[in-house]
Amino acid sequence: MLDIQQLRKDMASVVAGLARRGVAFDEPAFRILEDHRKQLQTRTEELQAKRNAASKQIGILKGKGDDTAGIMAEVSGVGEELKANEIALAQLQDKLSNFLRTIPNIPRAEVPQGKSEAENVEVRRVGTPRVFDFAPKDHVDIGAALAGIDFETAAKLSGTRFTVLKGGVARMHRALGQFMLDVHTTEHGYTEVYVPYMVTGETADGVSSLAKFKDDLFKLEGRDLYLIPTSEYSVANFVRDTIVDLKNLPLKYVCHSPCFRSEAGSYGKDTRGMIRQHQFDKVEILQMVHPEKSADAHDELTANAEAILQKLELPYRTMLLCAGDMGFSSSKTYDLEVWLPAQNTYREISSCSNFEAFQARRMMARFKDEKGRTQYLHTLNGSGLAVGRTLVAVLENYQNADGSVTVPDVLLPYMGGLAKLDIAS
RNA sequence: GGAAGCGUGGCCGAGCGGUUUAAGGCACUGGUCUUGAAAACCAGCGAAGGGGAGACUCUUCCGUGAGUUCGAAUCUCACCGCUUCCGCCA
């Protein structure tokens, strides 16, 4: 949620910032709502003050045993107008709040201009794609040969966009999650957390606009519960409605969880393989930091995610998203894209965003600063990494001509002696 | 699922229709003292929002939502959560 103070005091900067995203801010609509609000609120508070003063007077008079009939008659008329005003004001505040909640975050100055993916800027490229002396297969064919990925059974159980993993591939999937958790907890200073995979509407709305994104979520029938599309939904809400002590900052959490996405609106996209699924595992890293530190924290968090790719020796590139391609809540986002040889391209495997105070404002996530003032936290998160897509990348990059897949060195301690996934005999 | 008890500021906790403008304590901030720190003493100190050029001032908030009343932290109802006991259960 944007800062309404900024809208009142510096509308121009908001309009300009949103324009960089290709979003037109409806200034007249906002002004009408805002003027009306001001008038209603002033009048309502006037009436409340009048009633409070009269009631207090009645109390004093009664204490002394004096007659209160006159003053009671005077205040009796206030009630009705006050009630009408209070209701109208509440409705208007709702309207204003709903209006604000549909407006995305403002891009930071260093975010490049652009409308789409095509205008994202490559920041760095790490690792060299391996040169194959055979035609590399994609993970679907590799998985089939290993009898390790079974889409048919998954479809029988649950329909399209689900996966069953077996044997060494299932183990490697588990190993990847464990490996990522261990790196982030022991080397990057994150606290491991385990969280609910279902959250209430209020929780979902804290992280992102529920009204705007509810079609992307799975909702439990007859209950106010949603399956999380990322553990960010659960973990970010740790600080909802709280004031954190300065000495506890930064908060750094890592969480491994399944993620559930309905993928409405992406029919026909990535239908082959396990790139886009209704259920996938992800290791998520989050930070809640002092506002002055969020830019540095963003670089750190991105580097933390990149470290996983480096340790797995997977070639990747880091993209700085342009204003038009960023997510709703983000002020700046880096995407990490891993090399997939079969597709001969880089594919997104992580997205690392700085939300600044946008999310914190919506969640009322605050801290006491050096001077004892209450301020909003800055929140950041990123995938470190998407486990399913990392599995895809390992299978494709580590495949051998005979159809087997070599286990990356850093995963060996997690594989129970298995150094290679062999094709099914 | 059933029963009972309980939800008060960052934390603990008093208040149970009208000077509550929510006592007191802890924590925190500033000061005195000290070589420095601690302790002690003094002062300040809840959150969200509005109005005003400003000094300042007003409103809302005692789990949430309705209700009773001129007036609700306090009374009524519903819901949510926590604790304990019973039932069920991986």
| A48-99: pLDDT as tens digits | 888 888 888 888 777 777 776 777 777 777 777 888 888 888 888 888 888 8
Of A273, A188, A284, the residue nearest A235 (C-alpha): A284
Determine the pLDDT at residue A366.
Answer: 87
A52 touches strand B (CB under 7 A): yes
Indicate if CB(A45) is under 7 A from strand B: yes
Q: Does residue A389 have an active-site annotation?
A: yes
Catalytic residue among A351, A353, A356, A396: A351
The ipTM is 0.81
Q: Tell whether omega for the bond before A104 is within 30 degrees of 0, i.e. cis.
A: no
- What is the C-alpha end-to-end distance of chain A, expressed in Å? 56
Q: Estimate in Å the CA A323 to C1' B22 gap, whole number.
A: 49
Tokens of A193: 């957390």
Cβ–Cβ under 8 Å, residues A423 and A403: yes
Query: What confidence score (pLDDT) does residue A425 get?
Result: 65
Nucleotide nearest to A374 (CA to C1'): B47
Instruction: Give the residue among A310, A276, A303, A312 at the shortest CA–CA distance from A395.
Output: A312
- Which strand B nucleotides have any atom less than 7 A from protein CB atoms? 10, 18-19, 21, 28-29, 44-51, 58-60, 70-71
* Contact predicate A114/A324, CB 8 Å: yes
CA of A210 to C1' of B85 (A): 39
Q: Which of A20, A108, A361, A389 is catalytic?
A: A389
- pLDDT profile of chain A (425 residues), mean per 10: 86 91 90 88 86 83 72 73 83 86 92 94 96 94 95 93 95 97 96 91 82 82 87 91 84 95 78 91 95 94 98 97 94 97 94 94 85 85 95 97 96 95 83
| Single-letter residue type at A302 | T
For residue A351, indicate whether it is catalytic.
Answer: yes
- The reply to whether the CB atom of residue A374 sits less than 7 A from any atom in nucleic acid chain B is yes
pLDDT at A299: 97
Q: Is the pTM of this model over 0.80?
A: yes
A350 counts as catalytic:
no
Amino acid found at A127:
G
Question: Quick one: A122 exposed, middle or buried, by C-beta within 10 A (0-12, 13-18, 19+)?
Answer: exposed
Task: Report phi then psi at A358, rounded to 5.
Answer: -60, -45
A71 touches strand B (CB under 7 A): no
Is A292 one of the catalytic residues?
no
Q: Is A221 a catalytic residue?
A: no
> What's the CA gap between A325 and A24, in Å, rounded?
16
pLDDT at A263 (0 to 100) = 80
What is the structure's pLDDT at A182? 97
pLDDT value, residue A85:
84
Nucleic strand B under 7 Å from the C-beta of A70: no
A159, burial (CB in 10 Å: exposed 0-12, middle 13-18, buried 19+): exposed
Q: What is the largest CA-CA distance in chain A?
A: 103
- Token pair recorded at residue A315: 């070639």
Select which of A276, A313, A317, A347 is catalytic: A276
Which one of A20, A108, A161, A261 is the catalytic residue? A261
A409 contact partners, CB below 8 Å, separation of at least 6: A313
Using alpha carbons only, how large is chain A's radius of gyration in Å? 27
How many angstroms separate the CA of A63 from the C1' of B13? Answer: 29
